[in-house]
């Protein structure tokens, strides 16, 4: 009798232990946690690099972009990059995603979907919108705005190949996500908007966005500036525009949700002591009233001078802070000191 009771007790104890383990961590679930600005991801709590270059996720226009190869491989898929066509081909189970750098159209199993933010090459790295990709492959996506983390969960009992997961995920990846699922991802209130013809201002803008935790938007000319257009010793396009009060070069694309930002850094190169006229186009394209505008520029040697003041009449009702000039070699420390000196709420 004693023996029977002992065996029964052991069996009950074993069952209880097994149940406890299961409740804490569903067996077979895969979780990948990513943090904005951190090059390390946690794969089921194990630290791994997102890529070999120490690239960290960034937020662009309220969406998180990062190199996705390691993540796709963690869920058993594959990633192919075609540098000629600037396209990415992702495969997980039966699902295939095609993305193109700079294009808002992505294809899931050959069906077109409109992205909120296009894939981009940032700092030489191919950065892709993770929410669309993860949800299309049937993963759950959770954003924690306080911790600035994104957790992707692949449920063990929810195969990524299933048709159902594809249907649900793609719906969530497009319009409905903006309104409902990522209010916190959309809550960023600082924007860095910049124009850069040869990359100097771009480098500074990226450092400012990183340091201030801001979204970033590149003001892209409808007609790109060629080297000839910028050859200021000739009668070039940029000189003509700078000498024409009415010149307003067209911009390709727009800032979505400008209303969500209350602080906007605007960055530009100095052209003949002033902001390029495309900045005037930009300032006239949005309602900046009630917003704080913080100008910055890069130049060969000229100060920011009157370049920002001369745009103030284009954004009436805004609170303009003093602008700052940087050299193309400005360090992160220079930029951090400047940001810390500003009274950004
Ligand atoms: C048309 C033109 C005019 C320029 N005028 C000035 C100037 O007045 N003062 C100055 O210091 N640099 C001047 N520059 C140099 C740029 O301001 C400088 O290279 C800047 O960092 C370029 O930024 P970007 O690479 O973001 O375009 C001029 C450049 C161009 C193309």
Domains, the chain, in order of start with CATH, read 30-182 (3.30.457.10), 190-341 (3.40.50.360)
Q: What is the pLDDT of residues 107-157, one digit of tens each?
A: 999 887 778 778 887 766 788 889 889 989 888 888 887 788 899 998 876
Atom 20 of ligand 1, nearest CA residue: 299
Find out whether the beta carbon of 201 lies less than 6 Å from any atom of ligand 1.
yes
Please state whether 272 falls in left (phi above 0), alpha (psi between -120 and 50) or beta. Answer: left
In Å, how far are 95, 173, 311 from 167, measured between CA atoms? 11, 10, 48
Residue 14: per-residue pLDDT: 41
Residue 204: per-residue pLDDT: 97
Residue 187: per-residue pLDDT: 54
Identify the three-state secondary structure at position 113.
Answer: strand
Longest dimension (CA), the chain: 105
Residue 11: per-residue pLDDT: 45
Residue 158: per-residue pLDDT: 54
Residue 123: per-residue pLDDT: 60
Report the C-alpha gap between 257 and 30 in whole angstroms. Answer: 34
Q: Which of 299, 307, 325, 327 to mutate to test the pocket of ligand 1 (most atoms within 8 A of CB)?
A: 299
Residue 343: per-residue pLDDT: 73
Residue 124: per-residue pLDDT: 62
Q: Which of 300, 302, 303, 304 to mutate to test the pocket of ligand 1 (most atoms within 8 A of CB)?
A: 300
Residue 86: per-residue pLDDT: 79
Residue 4: per-residue pLDDT: 53
Residue 191: per-residue pLDDT: 97
Report the C-alpha gap between 181 and 129 in whole angstroms. Answer: 15
Q: Which atom of ligand 1 is nearest to the CA of 197?
A: 27
267 contacts 196 by C-beta, under 8 angstroms:
yes
Find out whether the beta carbon of 233 lies less than 6 Å from any atom of ligand 1.
no
Q: Residue 337, class by beta-carbon neighbours within 10 Å (0-12 exposed, 13-18 middle, 19+ buried)?
A: exposed
Burial annotation 93-112 (CB, 10 A radius, 16+ → b, else e): bebebbbbbeeeebbbeeee
pTM (global) more than 0.85: no
Residue 19: per-residue pLDDT: 40
> How far is ligand 1, taken at its centre, from the CA of residue 198, in Å?
9
Report the C-alpha gap between 323 and 265 in whole angstroms. Answer: 9
Please identify every stretch of the chain with a pLDDT value under 50, giving residue numbers as ranges: 6, 8-25, 160-186
Residue 28: per-residue pLDDT: 78
Average pLDDT, the chain: 82
**Token pair 């209880």 is at which residue?**
16
222 contacts 247 by C-beta, under 8 angstroms:
no
> How far is ligand 1, taken at its centre, from the CA of residue 274, in Å?
9
Residue 3: per-residue pLDDT: 55
Query: Taking the CA atoms of the chain, what radius of gyration do you get in angstroms?
Result: 25
Find out whether the beta carbon of 323 lies less than 6 Å from any atom of ligand 1.
no
């Amino acid at each position: 009798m004693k023996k029977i009771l002992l065996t029964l007790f052991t069996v009950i104890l074993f069952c209880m232990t097994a149940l406890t383990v299961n409740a804490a961590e569903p067996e077979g679930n895969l979780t990948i946690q990513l943090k904005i600005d951190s090059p390390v991801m946690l794969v089921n709590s194990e630290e791994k690099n997102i890529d070999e270059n120490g690239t960290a996720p960034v937020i662009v226009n309220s969406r998180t972009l990062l190199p996705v190869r390691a993540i796709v491989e963690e869920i058993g898929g594959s990633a192919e990059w075609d540098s000629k066509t600037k396209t990415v081909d992702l495969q997980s189970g039966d699902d295939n995603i095609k993305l193109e750098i700079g294009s808002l159209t992505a294809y899931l199993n050959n069906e077109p979907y409109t992205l909120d933010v296009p894939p981009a090459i940032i700092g030489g790295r191919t950065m892709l919108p993770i929410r669309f990709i993860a949800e299309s492959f049937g993963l759950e996506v959770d954003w924690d705005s306080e911790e600035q983390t994104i957790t992707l969960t692949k449920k063990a009992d929810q195969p990524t190949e299933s048709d159902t997961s594809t249907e649900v995920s793609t719906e969530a990846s497009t319009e409905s996500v903006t309104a409902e699922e990522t209010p916190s991802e959309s809550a960023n209130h600082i924007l860095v908007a910049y124009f850069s013809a040869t990359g100097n201002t771009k480098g500074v803008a990226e450092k400012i966005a990183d340091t201030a935790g801001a979204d970033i938007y590149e003001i892209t000319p409808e007609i790109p500036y060629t080297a000839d257009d910028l050859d200021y010793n000739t009668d070039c396009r940029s000189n003509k525009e700078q000498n024409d009060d009415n010149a307003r070069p067209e911009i390709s694309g727009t800032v979505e949700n400008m209303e969500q930002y209350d602080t906007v850094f605007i960055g530009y190169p100095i052209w003949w002591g002033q902001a390029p006229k495309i900045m005037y186009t930009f300032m006239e394209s949005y309602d900046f009233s009630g917003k704080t505008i913080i100008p910055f520029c890069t130049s060969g040697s000229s100060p920011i001078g009157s370049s920002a003041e001369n745009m103030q009449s284009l954004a009436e009702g805004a609170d303009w802070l003093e602008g700052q000039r940087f050299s193309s070699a400005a360090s992160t420390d220079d930029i951090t000191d400047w940001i810390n000196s500003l009274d950004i709420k």
